[in-house]
Chain A
Amino acid sequence: MIAGLAEATGTTSTGEAVQFWVLAVVAVGGALGMLLMRKAVHSALCLAATMLALAVCYMAQGAVFLGVVQIVVYTGAIMMLFLFVVMLVGVTSEDSLKEQLKGQRFAAALCGLGFGVLLVAGIANAKLDHFTGLSEANAEGNVPGLARLIFTRYVWAFEVTGALLITAAIGAMVLTHREHVKAPKTQRELAAQRVRDNLQVPPLPAPGVYARHNAVDVPALLPDGSPAELSVNATLRERGQVRDVSEDMQRRMAELENATADWLGRASSERPVVAAPRRSLEPAGNHEPEEGEQ
């Protein structure tokens, strides 16, 4: 069946044509989705779909080994690596799609369009009518054919890529490795430090617990209704994943105050000033690491 997929003709079988159009729609849809999704995790899933579609394309063109490798290595390993990093950075964080560089988006569109037109024109100009097909090359099977090439003509490149992979692995370890210059402080030392500095002697406040929100990402509220930032885990604060409910609460407080004032018939000037709703907590910049963070 595989050999029959790549006949030595200028056209393909109808089956392959149907398969191509379906896969092309999936691939382009996935690519566009990756480009347009606000959340990185969605982009990653869209790209996985594109890659799967491309894997099938490879197989349809007689590159069975590559198709499998595409699924195993790309969608299996590399995309998982991407997802890990996405989780590390914050799975729910969204990109602001507002462009900051002046004219960047317009220029990118122009360049992209021009490049696409050029490529298409180039391909169209090439007059690729006759496709030899791989039935002959794949006669003893696709994998043995590839192996013959890799271990004979391309053996040197193969060895070098091995060295490259090892270098990359070591490089990644070096880059992400955090050297401790001195021994990390123990809890006892941290407690003593806190007392000595007299900055935050009691434990940090717990996250807020409400009827509808009892997650760690919901800050507790201070008496005036503003959120207590210290009550949320520093990592969540950094990622900007703090769910601020103070606005909601303050709106309700204001409504309550107004209702009370209406009921008491007070003039507007005598009514108590209601604190303005706070802006939702922005991801903190690079503030000093908190003490309990180590």
Chain B
Amino acid sequence: MNSLIPLLVAAPLAGAALLLLGGRALDRFGHWLATALAALSFGFGLALFSDMLGREAEHRAVTKHLFSWVPVNGFQADVAFRLDQLSMTFVLLITGVGTLIHLYSVGYMAHDERRRRFFAYLNLFLAAMLLLVIADNYLLLYVGWEGVGLASYLLIGFWQHKPSAATAAKKAFVVNRVGDMGLSIAIMLMFAEFGSFAFTPVFDGAHEASEGKLTAIGLMLLLAACGKSAQVPLQSWLGDAMEGPTPVSALIHAATMVTAGVYLITRSSAIFNLAPDARTAVVVVGAVTLLFGAVVGCAKDDIKKALAGSTMSQIGYMVLAAGLGPIGYAFAIMHLVTHGFFKAGLFLGAGSVMHGMNDEVNMRHYGGLWRHMKVTFVTFGLGYLAIIGFPGLSGFFSKDRIIEAAFAKGGTEGWILGLCALVGAAVTAFYMTRVMVLTFFGEKRWQPDESGELPHPHESPRTMTIPMVLLSFGSVFAGGLFAFHDSFLTWLEPVTGHSEGDSPLSSWTVTGLTTACMLAGVGLAYLMYWRSPVPVVPPVGSPLTRAARRDLLQDDINHAVLVRPGSALTATLVWFDSRGLDGFVNGLAATIGGLSGRLRRIQNGFVRSYALSMFGGTLVLVASTLLMRSV
């Protein structure tokens, strides 16, 4: 059964290779081939899952050594896979949601000339992401990490004829490099400290390592996670990444790739458990990002960017939970999975709305759509209820447990984190209600497109609605299933461990508070956007709104803090290079050239002249010999 593990990666990888190298011949059925291979990978995942369930909890983790990658003495890197409960969760999420989104893309990209290439990139992404989560050492994980970065870059810039898309792809790539640097430094530190970067020796050796080194590794891993998961301060790329096709936003920038940071932190729990300072940094990043993303999400009129802010915020929840240590890891992953379902569903719904509205993204130009696209409305609505944490749906269970765990952290810290999470829950409810109301309810604010025609909203084709329906099932039931008898917690415990914190509030109190916050957010949004008319042109708004519309000035801050000093430094260096170094080098060359020009005259080409110098030299030699003798 273990021999199926490499096939998880191989199937989509083969699809990518086939589609990229196969040429036009594959244009007709290439998308179905890619979807079939994704489904095949999901099938392998299911087979492995059933196999895993058949074993005892402590024997469920298996490793599969494929071949020795870098067999150098003292530097051993293997292509080896580890499939344990954590990896299994991710494999099922990635291949399952991935297959659905492949299916959705068949309809969504039906009229794109370069559809084959799009599916090749999607398959490439699946392969890289699967490699990331089943790698048995950090170096192989890094390969997958870079692979998903590449796929993300290619897919954000898929419509590269749009300058905004090309720029967004570049931005995502550059910002991700900063995080990747963190991961590579972390791997180097591990190698220096433990002499290996395979999971087992690193985690076993962590007990003997000094806390300072573990903190350094942890902080570098956090930097990596910030880059990939769009956490403050490396969050700026995610909003722009919405330039990519909507299925990409759903799969990569909502459900899977952006959660790689959470995976990394959870996977490295052995390191973080022993480095409390690094964990504090993680929770701070998570708490800041969850509020940051929520505030940004409130102000955006672009439906995808509002959802992107929401993604950022929800991942903030996960990072916060992962930073809490053993009391939070399982809930971080649980929220990750439920979020994968409902956020992918929301994005697919947004894509469906855009599909029906002539690619209009501005929510102020929507309104009253529920009548025209019923399936989209229902699935989007279920996703909406899930994300705001409506009791009984997925988000309710997972988010509630995270807030509970934040309080359970204990002390002042616990209170601060818990309150942050509660406020975040309220804001989430607010902005998601805003999105829902602006899009599906109220009066029609449709605007004519460039050709002067009003859009004719219509339901999307079957290939698009089926994935949305299936995902909405996940949005509704996944949370309950996971929370039932703490099944998810039990499932993950062998990998992440678990400990109950001592919460100052009882479990029911937290649930009540969360629900109250959620209802408050919904109510506020109801008052603001349902009861009062929505202007088509956005009002000026408060300074906070204006800042939030500009992503809370993230680009301005980056520009002021990084770009401008960098440019100044570069200009200085260029000046120094052209004046100082080049001046020196050119001056030296000119001096030598001039000297050589003078010296050249000695070489007049007359043999007798050369003979004279030889004779003179002999004279000097004889004279010096005699002198030395006489002295």
Q: A159 to B616, alpha carbons, bound, how many Å?
A: 35
Q: A111 to B604, alpha carbons, bound, how many Å?
A: 20
Q: Given the complex, which residues of A lie within 8 Å of B606, measured CB to CB?
A: 101
Contact in complex: B619, A111 (CB < 8 Å): yes
| The residue from A111, A114, A115, A125 contacting B630, defined by CB atoms under 8 A apart | A125
Contact in complex: A111, B612 (CB < 8 Å): yes
| A184 in the interface (beta carbon within 8 A) | no
| B609 in the interface (beta carbon within 8 A) | yes
Q: Given the complex, which residues of B lie within 8 Å of A115, measured CB to CB?
A: 615, 618-619, 622
| A199 in the interface (beta carbon within 8 A) | no
| A122 in the interface (beta carbon within 8 A) | yes
- Give the distance to chain A from B243, nearest Cβ to Cβ, in Å: 74
Interface digits, A61-103 against B, CB 8 Å rule (1 contact, 0 not)? 0000000000000000000000000000000000000000100
Q: A115 to B630, alpha carbons, bound, how many Å?
A: 17
Contact in complex: B615, A101 (CB < 8 Å): no
Given contacts A111-B615, A111-B616, A115-B615, contact A122 B609 (CB under 8 A): no
| A118 in the interface (beta carbon within 8 A) | yes
| B608 in the interface (beta carbon within 8 A) | yes
Q: Given the complex, which residues of B lie within 8 Å of A122, measured CB to CB?
A: 622, 626
| A181 in the interface (beta carbon within 8 A) | no
**B588-606 interface with A by 8 A CB criterion:** 604, 606
| B623 in the interface (beta carbon within 8 A) | yes
Closest chain B residue, CB of each to CB of A118: B622
Q: A104 to B606, alpha carbons, bound, how many Å?
A: 11
Q: Given the complex, which residues of A lie within 8 Å of B609, measured CB to CB?
A: 101, 104
| A107 in the interface (beta carbon within 8 A) | yes
Interface size, A (range) = 10 to 19
Q: A122 to B606, alpha carbons, bound, how many Å?
A: 32
Q: A83 to B608, alpha carbons, bound, how many Å?
A: 23
- Give the distance to chain A from B442, nearest Cβ to Cβ, in Å: 101
- Give the distance to chain A from B52, nearest Cβ to Cβ, in Å: 87
Q: Given the complex, which residues of B lie within 8 Å of A119, measured CB to CB?
A: 622
Mostly, the B contact residues are: helix
Contact in complex: A114, B608 (CB < 8 Å): no
Interface digits, A103-143 against B, CB 8 Å rule (1 contact, 0 not)? 01001100100110011011001000000000000000000
Q: A277 to B622, alpha carbons, bound, how many Å?
A: 55
Q: Give the residue among A111, A114, A118, A121 with the most B Cβ atoms within 10 A.
A: A111
Q: A119 to B618, alpha carbons, bound, how many Å?
A: 12
Contact in complex: B619, A104 (CB < 8 Å): no
Closest chain A residue, CB of each to CB of B625: A122
- Give the distance to chain A from B623, nearest Cβ to Cβ, in Å: 6
Contact in complex: A118, B626 (CB < 8 Å): yes
Q: Given the complex, which residues of A lie within 8 Å of B615, measured CB to CB?
A: 108, 111, 115
Contact in complex: A108, B612 (CB < 8 Å): yes
Contact in complex: A118, B619 (CB < 8 Å): yes
Q: Given the complex, which residues of B lie within 8 Å of A118, measured CB to CB?
A: 619, 622-623, 626
| The residue from B608, B622, B626 contacting A101, defined by CB atoms under 8 A apart | B608
Q: A119 to B615, alpha carbons, bound, how many Å?
A: 13
Closest chain A residue, CB of each to CB of B615: A111
Q: A125 to B626, alpha carbons, bound, how many Å?
A: 10
Q: Given the complex, which residues of B lie within 8 Å of A121, measured CB to CB?
A: 626
| The residue from B612, B618, B626, B630 contacting A104, defined by CB atoms under 8 A apart | B612
- Give the distance to chain A from B617, nearest Cβ to Cβ, in Å: 10
- Give the distance to chain B from A98, nearest Cβ to Cβ, in Å: 14
Closest chain A residue, CB of each to CB of B617: A111
Q: Given the complex, which residues of A lie within 8 Å of B623, measured CB to CB?
A: 114, 118
Q: A108 to B626, alpha carbons, bound, how many Å?
A: 21
Contact in complex: A107, B612 (CB < 8 Å): yes
Q: A218 to B630, alpha carbons, bound, how many Å?
A: 65
Q: Given the complex, which residues of B lie within 8 Å of A108, measured CB to CB?
A: 612, 615
Q: A107 to B609, alpha carbons, bound, how many Å?
A: 10
Closest chain B residue, CB of each to CB of A100: B606
Q: A251 to B630, alpha carbons, bound, how many Å?
A: 69
Q: Given the complex, which residues of A lie within 8 Å of B612, measured CB to CB?
A: 104, 107-108, 111
Q: Given the complex, which residues of A lie within 8 Å of B608, measured CB to CB?
A: 101, 104
Q: Given the complex, which residues of A lie within 8 Å of B619, measured CB to CB?
A: 111, 114-115, 118
Q: A174 to B155, alpha carbons, bound, how many Å?
A: 75
Q: A235 to B526, alpha carbons, bound, how many Å?
A: 119
- Give the distance to chain A from B627, nearest Cβ to Cβ, in Å: 10
- Give the distance to chain B from A116, nearest Cβ to Cβ, in Å: 10
Q: Given the complex, which residues of A lie within 8 Å of B626, measured CB to CB?
A: 118, 121-122, 125
Q: A125 to B629, alpha carbons, bound, how many Å?
A: 10
- Give the distance to chain B from A279, nearest Cβ to Cβ, in Å: 27
Q: Given the complex, which residues of A lie within 8 Å of B618, measured CB to CB?
A: 115
Q: A118 to B629, alpha carbons, bound, how many Å?
A: 13
Q: Given the complex, which residues of A lie within 8 Å of B604, measured CB to CB?
A: 101
Q: Given the complex, which residues of B lie within 8 Å of A107, measured CB to CB?
A: 612, 616
Interface digits, A24-64 against B, CB 8 Å rule (1 contact, 0 not)? 00000000000000000000000000000000000000000
Q: Given the complex, which residues of A lie within 8 Å of B616, measured CB to CB?
A: 107, 111
Q: Given the complex, which residues of B lie within 8 Å of A125, measured CB to CB?
A: 626, 630
Closest chain A residue, CB of each to CB of B612: A107
- Give the distance to chain B from A243, nearest Cβ to Cβ, in Å: 31
- Give the distance to chain B from A204, nearest Cβ to Cβ, in Å: 37
Q: A58 to B490, alpha carbons, bound, how many Å?
A: 117
- Give the distance to chain A from B598, nearest Cβ to Cβ, in Å: 16
Q: A126 to B630, alpha carbons, bound, how many Å?
A: 11
- Give the distance to chain A from B234, nearest Cβ to Cβ, in Å: 76
Q: A115 to B619, alpha carbons, bound, how many Å?
A: 6
Q: A114 to B615, alpha carbons, bound, how many Å?
A: 11
- Give the distance to chain A from B614, nearest Cβ to Cβ, in Å: 10
Closest chain B residue, CB of each to CB of A112: B615
Known contacts A104-B612, A108-B612; 7 additional CB pairs below 8 A are: A104-B609, A111-B616, A115-B615, A115-B619, A115-B622, A118-B619, A121-B626
User: Can you list 18 A-B pairs with a CB-CB distance of less than 8 A?
Assistant: A101-B604, A101-B606, A104-B608, A104-B609, A107-B616, A108-B612, A111-B612, A111-B616, A111-B619, A115-B619, A115-B622, A118-B619, A118-B623, A119-B622, A121-B626, A122-B622, A125-B626, A125-B630
Q: Kindly list the 9 A-B residue pairs having the minimum CB-CB distance in the complex, ordered from nearest.
A: A111-B615, A118-B622, A115-B619, A114-B619, A111-B616, A107-B612, A122-B626, A111-B619, A118-B623
